[in-house]
C-alpha cells in the first residue's frame, strides 16, 4: 500500500510540475465583488480577501506554484475582461460561466452556483413575466458583466442600458429611482449595502435571467496542463467541503 501511495504522490507532483513548467506566471485579475473577492474599505491593510481568493490561494499552494495572494490584482471588471480575452496566461475571477462565454475561455469550476437576476425596488411593484417586458424599463448594468450580456441577449439594445464600471453605482441609482432595474445577484446585495449604506429589504428579484456556475476563467491560449492541474486541486478542495467552510467565514459579507 505504501508503494501505491508514494506512486500516487509522485504522479501528482509530476503533474503539478508539468503544469507549471510549460507556462509563464499567470496574470491574475479579480474585481470588487463581495463575498467572493474584495477589499474591505474599513481594513487599513487593504488586503484582498474572499471565498474565491482563499480558494485560489489554496489551489496555487497545492499545485506547487510560486504565486500567491500578492500576485492578485483588483481591477474594474471591463478592464479585466478585456485582458482575459486578449492576453495569454490571464486568469480572471469570479467569472460566471454561460453559454455565450463557454467557448471564448477555458475554465476551472466551481466556486459556487450563482443566479443572474433583475432587481427592483419593492415599492415600485414591477412585474416581469417575460424577457420582452424588460424593454419597458431603464436598466442599469456593469460594462461587460454577465448581467449586461444576458440582458442584451434577451433583446435589450446595449445603447438603452445605463452602463457603469461598478456594481455599487447601479445600486445607488436604483435606490434613488434613477433607474428602474439593476442586473446582478441578490447574493451580493447585503455586502454592497454595507458599503454604501442602504437597507437590503427594500430590494427584490423580479426575474431570473440565468443560473450558472461561478468559476475561474482563463484566456484560451493558456496551457491546458496548467488549467487541468488547477482544476484537480479545486475539485479536491471542493470534495473536502472547503467551500462551505469559506461561506461561514465570510457570512458577514453576504
Residue with cell 480575452: 85
> Tens place of pLDDT for every residue, the chain, 254 residues?
545 444 444 444 444 444 544 445 999 999 999 899 999 888 888 999 999 999 999 999 999 999 999 999 999 999 999 999 999 999 999 999 999 999 999 999 999 999 999 999 999 999 999 999 999 999 999 999 999 999 999 999 999 999 999 899 999 999 999 999 999 999 888 888 888 889 999 999 999 999 999 999 999 999 999 999 999 999 999 999 999 999 999 987 76
Residue 160, all three cell numbers: 438603452
> What pLDDT is attached to residue 24?
54
CA distance 1 to 91: 38
Predicted pLDDT of residue 9: 44
What pLDDT is stored for residue 254 in this prediction?
Answer: 63
The reported pLDDT for the residue numbered 52 is 98
Grid coordinates in use for 142? 456593469
> How many other C-beta atoms are found inside a 10 Å radius of the C-beta of residue 171?
24
Residue 243 neighbours by CB under 8 Å, 6+ apart: 51, 55, 111, 112, 237
**CATH architecture of the region 2-113+214-253:** 3-Layer(aba) Sandwich (3.40)
Class of 115-211 per CATH?
Answer: alpha beta
171 vs 192: CA distance, rounded Å: 8
> What single DSSP character describes residue 100?
T
Q: How would you list the strands of the sheet with 162-164, edge to edge?
A: 72-74, 27-30, 90-97, 203-219, 105-121, 181-184, 139-142, 162-164
Task: Quote the pLDDT of residue 187.
Answer: 85
**Phi–psi pair at 49, nearest 5 degrees:** -150, 180
Q: Where in the chain is the domain with CATH 3.40.190.10?
A: 2-113+214-253, 115-211
Cα separation, 208 vs 125, whole angstroms: 16
Amino acid at each position: 500500500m505504501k508503494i501505491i501511495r508514494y506512486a500516487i504522490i509522485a504522479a501528482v507532483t509530476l503533474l503539478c510540475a508539468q503544469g507549471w513548467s510549460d507556462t509563464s506566471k499567470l496574470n491574475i485579475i479579480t474585481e470588487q465583488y463581495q463575498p467572493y473577492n474584495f477589499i474591505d474599505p474599513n481594513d487599513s491593510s487593504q488586503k484582498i480577501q474572499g471565498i474565491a481568493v482563499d480558494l485560489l490561494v489554496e489551489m496555487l499552494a497545492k499545485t506547487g506554484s510560486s504565486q500567491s495572494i500578492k500576485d492578485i490584482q483588483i481591477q474594474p471588471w471591463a478592464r479585466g475582461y478585456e485582458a482575459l480575452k486578449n492576453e495569454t496566461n490571464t486568469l480572471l475571477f469570479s467569472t460566471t460561466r454561460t453559454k455565450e462565454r463557454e467557448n471564448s475561455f477555458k475554465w476551472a469550476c466551481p466556486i459556487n452556483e450563482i443566479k443572474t437576476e433583475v432587481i427592483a425596488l419593492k415599492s415600485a411593484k414591477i412585474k416581469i413575466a417575460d424577457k420582452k417586458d424588460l424593454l419597458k424599463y431603464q436598466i442599469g448594468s456593469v460594462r461587460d458583466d454577465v448581467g449586461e450580456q444576458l440582458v442584451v441577449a434577451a433583446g435589450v439594445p446595449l445603447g438603452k442600458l445605463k452602463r457603469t464600471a461598478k456594481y455599487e453605482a447601479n445600486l445607488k441609482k436604483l435606490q434613488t429611482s434613477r433607474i428602474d432595474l439593476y442586473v446582478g445577484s441578490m447574493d451580493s446585495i447585503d455586502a454592497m449595502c454595507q458599503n454604501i449604506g442602504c437597507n437590503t429589504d427594500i430590494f427584490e428579484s423580479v426575474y431570473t435571467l440565468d443560473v450558472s456556475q461561478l468559476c475561474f476563467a482563463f484566456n484560451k491560449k493558456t496551457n491546458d496542463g496548467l488549467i487541468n492541474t488547477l482544476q484537480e486541486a479545486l475539485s479536491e478542495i471542493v470534495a473536502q467541503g472547503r467551500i462551505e467552510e469559506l461561506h461561514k467565514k465570510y457570512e458577514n459579507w453576504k
